[in-house]
């Protein structure tokens, strides 16, 4: 849990303990595959930062491949 706390407050320096508790509850009981459908990009990035980063990395690689291939 310590790593979650450190990462959360690093990404959200103005957050409160209440914000962290709420985030942990959602993160542990939520489903990112459902959340990605209805959340805004910012909400998804907040609740699922590692998933968001991974998805953005994939999209960036796809964009680079499309540029190289001339698509």
Q: Give the pTM.
A: 0.67
The confidence score (pLDDT) of residue 61 equals 73
Q: Domain boundaries in the chain?
A: 1-30, 32-71
Q: Report how far residue 67's alpha carbon sits from residue 29's, in angstroms, rounded to the nearest whole number.
A: 39
The confidence score (pLDDT) of residue 52 equals 93
Conformation bin of residue 15: beta by default, left when phi > 0, alpha when psi is -120 to 50? beta
Q: Report how far residue 7's alpha carbon sits from residue 52's, in angstroms, rounded to the nearest whole number.
A: 14
The confidence score (pLDDT) of residue 69 equals 62
The confidence score (pLDDT) of residue 67 equals 65
The confidence score (pLDDT) of residue 53 equals 92
Ranges of the chain whose pLDDT falls below 70 = 1, 62-71
């Amino acid at each position: 849990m310590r790593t979650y706390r450190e990462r959360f407050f690093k990404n959200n320096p103005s957050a409160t303990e209440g914000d962290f508790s709420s985030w942990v509850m959602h993160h542990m009981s939520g489903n990112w595959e459902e959340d990605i459908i209805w959340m805004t990009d910012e909400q998804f990035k907040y609740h699922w930062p590692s998933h968001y980063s991974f998805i953005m990395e994939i999209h960036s690689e796809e964009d680079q491949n499309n540029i190289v291939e001339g698509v």
